[in-house]
Amino acid sequence: MTDAGQPTALPFGSSPARRPLFRHPWRVAVVIIGLVAVANLGVLLLHKADTTAPAPVGQPANVVSVQPSPGTLARPQTTIDVQLDTNLTGAFVIDGQELPVSQLETSVATGEVAFRPGPGKLLSQFAPGTHTITIEFWLTTKPRPTNPGSYSWTFRVGA
């Protein structure tokens, strides 16, 4: 008869069976490899992602941006604004009529040309409907050529 208070003696040279750290080590390895692969793929995709705004189709490279954007709906008092390369200046033709240069706001340093309709200007406001804007541009260091570069787009004005 054995004493219930004392553990059973083990044979000499043996130790109690240890439970494995992981019951299924290959499953753990597959999960870890999968997580590393997903993390690497995420880093690669974030590194290669192009977050620059695409240039509108047909817009010349020297026209950085235009406002209002082509095809959009704008207010009757909207400002027409074009950002050109800094070495360019320009003039607007609105619905076939060129605006006087004195009514334009230009910045040689930034290449910006803008027009805001208002009292005492060729346009006090845009009439409802579709309008065609053309920006004619040329180098600031040279006089206006007979055939300057140009870009046209349309936008709509609501009632």
pLDDT at 158: 84
CATH of the domain at 101: 2.60.40.1220
pLDDT digits (tens, 9 = 90+) for 50-76: 666 555 567 788 899 999 999 999 999
Structure tokens at 4: 């219930």
- Do 124 and 71 reside in the same domain of the chain? yes
Parts of the chain with a pLDDT under 50:
none
What is the DSSP-derived secondary structure letter of residue 77? T
Coil, strand or helix at 48: helix
Q: In terms of residue numbers, what domain contains 35?
A: 19-51
Q: Is residue 58 part of a domain?
A: no
| Burial (CB count within 10 angstroms: exposed 0-12, middle 13-18, buried 19+), residue 90 | buried
The reply to whether 153 and 93 lie within a common domain is yes
Residues 23 and 76 in one domain: no
Q: What pLDDT score was predicted for residue 31?
A: 87
Residues 77, 100: Cα–Cα separation, whole Å: 18
pTM of the predicted protein model: 0.62
Of the candidates 76, 55, 86, the one whose C-alpha atom is nearest the C-alpha of residue 153 is: 55
Pairwise CA distance, residues 73 & 29, whole Å = 57
- Based on the structure, what is the number of domains in the chain? 2
Rg of the chain, C-alpha, whole Å: 36
Give the distance, in angstroms, between the CA of residue 5 and the centroid of all CA atoms in the same chain.
77
In a domain, 9, yes or no: no
| pLDDT value for 78 | 92
